[in-house]
Amino acid sequence: MPELQRLDAHHAPTLLRFERENRAFFARSVPDRGDDYFTGFAQRHAELLAEQAAGLHHFHVLVDDDGAVLGRFNLVDVADGGAELGFRVAERATGRGIATDGVRRVCALARDGYGLRRLVARAALDNAGSLAVLRRTGFTPVGEVVLAGQPGLRHVRDLTADA
């Protein structure tokens, strides 16, 4: 069974591999990270870990039994009992409930481990997979947004209702 782990320095090589292998797949539904992301990966990874240590964000990877990254599940901009959820799953892991399971796990961790009360998430209207995951995991659409020039929906999940 895949394990949800808090992002750490030792994840860097497998996380970079995950991002490279899935770059074209991700670019079909979210804006591409650009070449600079990959050339400056080590520095950016260190910066993210420092921001996480400061309590600004909570980054997670879902890894399989071999240590390969199957997905990322991040809580960013932590403030006032809330955060924004972002997630992405490897193309080879789609259609197996990995994203839904990962979002459920990180929501429980947000509530029980980090003391968060509310999460927000955004997804483009043409990203049917992410919209379905948000719906299945208790997020409610609350308004329209524009994501990289594309129409999308903003969602909210009240974590206190789970307590």
pLDDT in tens, 75-94: 999 999 999 999 999 999 99
User: pLDDT digits over 8-17, tens only?
Assistant: 999 999 999 9
**Confidence (pTM):** 0.94
pLDDT of residue 59: 98
- Region 31-47: what's the mean pLDDT? 92
Q: Structural domains in the chain?
A: 3-162 (3.40.630.30)
**Are 69 and 90 contacting, i.e. CB atoms less than 8 angstroms apart?**
yes
3-state DSSP assignment of residue 94: coil
Of 4-13, 57-66, 106-115, 141-150, minimum mean pLDDT range: 141-150
Q: Cβ distance 83 to 113 under 8 Å?
A: no
Task: Give yes or no for a contact between 25 and 123, defined as CB atoms under 8 angstroms apart.
Answer: no
Listed in sequence order, the residues at least 6 apart from 146 whose beta carbon sits closer than 8 Å to its beta carbon are 152
| Residue 163 pLDDT exceeds 60 | no
Paired tokens of 113: 């481990």
* Residues near 88 by beta carbon (within 8 Å), at least 6 away in sequence: 22, 26, 30, 71, 72
Which residues 6+ apart lie within 8 Å of 94 measured at CB? 129
* Neighbour order of strands in the sheet with 140-147: 3-6, 58-63, 69-79, 82-89, 118-124, 150-158, 140-147
* DSSP line for 109-153: HHHHTT---EEEEEEETT-HHHHHHHHHTT-EEEEEEEETTEEEE
Work out the number of other CB atoms within 10 angstroms of the CB of residue 120. Answer: 15
